Amino acid sequence: MFNCLKCITRKNNDVEPSCDSGVPGLAGVIKLIGQGGFGRVYSVTGGGGGALYAVKVAEPRNPRQLQRLGMEIQIHSFLRHDRIVRMLDWAETSHGQFYICLEYCEMGSLYSYVEQLKQEKRYMDSRKIRDIFGQLVEGCQYLHEQCIIHRDLKPQNILLTESLDVKITDFGLAIVSPGRRAVWESVWGSPGYVPPEVLVEPRYTPAADVWALGCVLFWMYAGFVAFPERNLKSRNYHRKVRRLYTIRKTTSKFDAVAVRELLLQLLEEQPEDRPSCDTILSHDFLRQGFLVDKEVHKHDRSVAKRYAFRRAPFYLDYWAELFGR
């Protein structure tokens, strides 16, 4: 067991060593670095060299949360890839608390990194966008090869190391899909990154992650979220398709041809029309040496802000009701 987890009582142990971390059952805590529905993540020191780890402390409150956490541990524990945050160890206490020790990423999430740039009146250039997005697709490709659908790819779940290497994290909503589709009892994922097809029927395919990749790429390139949906009530198929019409029309005005073509492919309404991760990696935008001119990027960001929030034509609502879409 890693040093930062040595003070934790395993479920079958009788003695619990004392800890002075300020967090019950956890030693060497430095600070809280994130929290979710029923868990918190701390940066923790461990080992003689003072190595840093991230430790997730989860307290499932009901059988459903316990089942989800068990699936997360089962999936995450066997993943081994440079683009996936490595799970190093885990422990469960007699009080039903779970401690999951993870690889530490110095720069935090992609979301916090971009927000910091915004505060400094800067934005990501095309080289960084290309490098980060390419690594993200590599991680997603590996997951799909393992028959895993992440279902919650978003900037907050994409971590960066000090050298800006990408690491995908948070497999709390991930599922194993050995077939072409995985049927789930309800829609899961962050509202702004959920694809339209699962709003009709919660059948998940790898194309759901490809849609999320398109949303992340748009966010990095345009500077704002393509589908700014705030809660579960906003998960409406008709509203999503109307918004998609506006986003695709806006994207078609971009001067950067490679970015425009890739976004239009990723943000297709029908999942079968979206490319696989293998196809994405061979796209012109991800070729080594491809860069978007700064003035072109600036123009495209201006276009996005100008057109992205215009309302779709009224007749789209009529067609949606007429044809049941």
Q: Which residues are annotated as a binding site for ATP?
A: 56
List, in order, residues 6 or more apart from 148 with CB less than 8 Å away.
Answer: 75, 79, 171, 174, 175, 176, 177
Instruction: Point out the catalytic residue in the list 14, 20, 82, 152.
Output: 152
Annotated binding-site positions: 56
Instruction: Name the H helices within the chain.
Output: 63-77, 110-119, 126-145, 197-200, 206-222, 237-251, 257-266, 277-281, 294-307, 315-322
Closest alpha carbon to 229 in 217, 207, 244: 244
Give the whole-angstrom CA distance, residue 34 versus residue 249.
Answer: 36
Q: Tell me the helices (H) and strands (E) count for the chain, helix number first.
A: 10, 12
Q: How far apart are CA 109 and CA 98, in angstroms?
A: 23
> Could you give the count of Cα atoms lying within 13 Å of 70 in the half-sphere of its Cβ?
7
How far apart CA 64 and CA 296 sit, in angstroms, is 49
149: tokens are: 């659908």
* Structure tokens, 133: 């997005």
On the CB side of 221, CA atoms within 13 Å amount to: 32
Distance between CA atoms of 157 and 150, rounded to whole angstroms? 10
Measure the CA–CA gap between 241 and 309, rounded to whole angstroms. 14
- Active site annotation includes 293: no
Residues identified as active-site: 152
